[in-house]
Structure 1
């Protein structure tokens, strides 16, 4: 028996291969199934089983493509209401994979249709549990993503109560030595306090995980429903798409039009400029948004742009083209791209540099906009007088920013303030809009 963990760092997502006697099960696969196919070829093994722990909100899964390519059976909870060919996998159901056994455990809480997969070794002993978004290392899954989408919907309070019982009655009674393999790690928006560790044991989680400590059900509900991070705009769309099954990865990304730099863009179309902010500030298409390529590009794209909103992508160079398109595909946004191109000749708009010393001496002469998340703002206000509008809410709230003074935008390090400045600038007439960028470290 062999367990292999695969990590998508951009989405802090873990997927898994379990292999026994040249048979492979893939759990919670990423959009592009190539890495699992290559692993199977390398080990002269066959992918027979694909398991989805729930319909994911934060990424588009490749379960349907992998199943169709390899003739593998997809297993999901009956409660998911999957629209693709599948076999139901709920409490009491088992899959024989080579010499090991996979056992379904219904663990609602993050979603009503969540399951965990218990791996029994060749001797029939509990060896590992694949917990999806139910139990993380140092956390449990957030309960507020299924109030409006999915085959089953549930309020956050109802799901939080289900999570209480799933953890206490289904997972914590497992032997302490059982390995815990979650679907996400630190940086994911599917929880609020995940560890950077990629695995643990039931015993360690019972000792150290704040969500598993002794408390009443009501106290747990209060704990779990408080201080959760923001919900990106694309999450509901991803749940619906995963329930249906996504189109094939390679063909879908090849459908994105690659345009020459001098292509005439549609008037008033949204432009997402992924170049570094220094390049963007020197010249960009008017009204474009500077969403720099980086570790969390997919999350921020899906937090700023609506899942029915078409846009152009501007990239730094030809080498970056397919990488950026691939990232959009991970959240199902490749279908929205009107075209991808390098910096066009119409990139003549510039961003003004601010007088940092004047701002330090006379901050009252500026409207300061804090675009950090609510949790960060609650933890520490950097400028007491700042107008607080987190980046995911900014496009819908630009009109709240007064235009009687120059505007200074800040976040925690400079990435979000670059995007926010480019969003605010077209909506503020008559005064300059400045990006405090990484100078925020001086405050």
Structure 2
């Protein structure tokens, strides 16, 4: 028996590949299926099942494409109602894989169909738990995402989650390995650990949700401090339930090369959003006007989902040379399949064609320190609330990037302001959105708070972030 975790950092997502005696299963696959097909061929094994822990909200699974490519059936736990053919398992139903077995544990709470998969070895001993979004390391699945579909409050769903965890999960042996669907950085939880594998015994010691004295305390603990989920989540759930175009079709359509004139014509006729995936430093120095910058070298896909929201939005790409396929692939992981093509030659071709180029007024942290010294200046910090609470520039306003559409309207463009995040990635996203909406009276600080902290700019006292929400 072999268990492999296939972890994708951009989405903080774990898929799992398990083999035994010439057979394999894959749990929660990503959208692009070729890496899984390559593994099957490499190991000379047959894919027997594709297990889905639930209808994912934060990414589009590759279950449909993988089933079409291999003939392996898709398996969901009880209560699932997909629009395509699938095995809807019963609670405690056992599936055989070579010399081992996988038992379905229906664990509603995060969603109604949420299920964990318990792997037993050749001797029947519980070995590993593939816990989906029911149990994370350091946290549990948020109970507010399925309220509408389940016709229940988040407190009622949290109560179901308590029953699932305390009646079916905590009772398992301490040496069972926990393999969650997500890790730190995912919006599916609020307190996840950076580790991606742990024992159940250790989770019983360190996971706040597994140490609550009663159901009422558990409900309060897991519902307290929940931030609104990204708006694209519901659209990803729909795609995972109903199906989608094949990844190959999406890639072929997106890899359309557009010369400058054609790129401009398509942008005007389609209402496409121009997405520039270069680094924030390259973007600041020159970009196609009205472009939005979300760099590939960062949490690209989640920020695309949070900022663009509508998965049906047509998109035109500006990338570094050779990065087009990666951009389209990572967009497809969160359901953004409407890429119409990319600018051949990138921004350099745009400049050579004599087209207008825009820039962002980016300044160094040292210049920022000099400009605000002894003055009353408006500083906007777009980091998360927890980052801001830990330490920030004195009298800076906290306006998290995730909520830019809410606070943008309150900006007085007649008053100059400064904009920063932790290192420049998020503040450049904000800067590009601001300029696309007509706001230009600001300076964005290169290097963000990391660079500002090294200057003499007055700051609040540092508080360890783990203590902010304790």
TM-score over 0.5 for the pair = yes
- Within a 5 Å distance, the mapping from 1:229-268 to structure 2 comes to 229-256=227-254, 257-262=256-261, 263-265=263-265, 266-267=267-268
- 1:369 deviation in Å? 1.9
Q: 1 CA distance for matches of 2:129 and 2:248?
A: 32
Please, which runs of 5 or more residues in structure 1 have no aligned partner? none
What is the CA deviation profile of residues 377-398 of structure 1, one whole-angstrom value per residue up to 9, with x for unaligned ones? 3444434252x33212213532
**3-state SS of paired residue (1:309):** coil
Tell me the secondary structure at the aligned position of residue 279 of structure 1. helix
The yes-or-no answer on 1:124 pairing with 2:124 is: yes
Match of 2:361 in 1: 352
C-alpha spacing 1:59/1:70, structure 2 compared with 1 (3 Å): same
Which position in structure 2 is the counterpart of 1:109?
109
SS in structure 2 of the partner of residue 393 of structure 1: helix
- The Cα of 1:432 is off from its aligned counterpart by 2.2
Verify the 8 A CA contact 1:172 1:206 in the aligned structure 2: yes
Once residues 363 and 57 of structure 1 are traced to their aligned partners in structure 2, the CA distance between those partners, rounded to angstroms, is 46
DSSP 3-state at the match of 2:4: strand
Q: Distance in 2 between matches of 1:246 and 1:351?
A: 38
C-alpha deviation, 1:353, in angstroms: 3.9
Q: Distance in 2 between matches of 1:160 and 1:379?
A: 29
Q: Match of 1:136, SS?
A: coil
SS for the counterpart of 2:220 is: helix
Q: Residue deviations 1:262-311, cap 9 Å, x none? A: 43243364222111222222221222212112231001111100223323
**1:206-257 deviation line (CA, Å, top 9, x unaligned):** 1121211132222211211122345222111111111112322122211123
Distance of 1:309 and 1:37 partners within structure 2 = 30
**Equivalence map 1:11-50=2 (5 Å):** 11-50=11-50
The aligned counterpart of 2:420 is 410
Q: Distance in 2 between matches of 1:93 and 1:251?
A: 36
Shift of 1:409: 0.9
Name the counterpart of 1:309: 313
CA shift for structure 1 position 96: 1.3
The unaligned stretches of length 5 or more in structure 2 are 454-470
2:275 pairs, out of 272, 290, 313, with: 272
> CA–CA distance in 1 between the matches of 2:160 and 2:59?
24
Shift of 1:6: 0.8
Structure 1 equivalent of residue 6 of structure 2: 6
Q: Secondary structure, in 3 states, of the residue corresponding to 2:147?
A: coil
Aligned to 2:63: 63
Cα distance change on mapping 1:363 and 1:221 into 2, 3 Å? farther
Report deviation, 1:63: 0.6
SS in 2 for 1:255: helix
The worse-fitting range, judged by mean Cα deviation, of 23-32 and 190-199 is 190-199
- Over the aligned positions, Cα root-mean-square deviation in angstroms equals 1.9
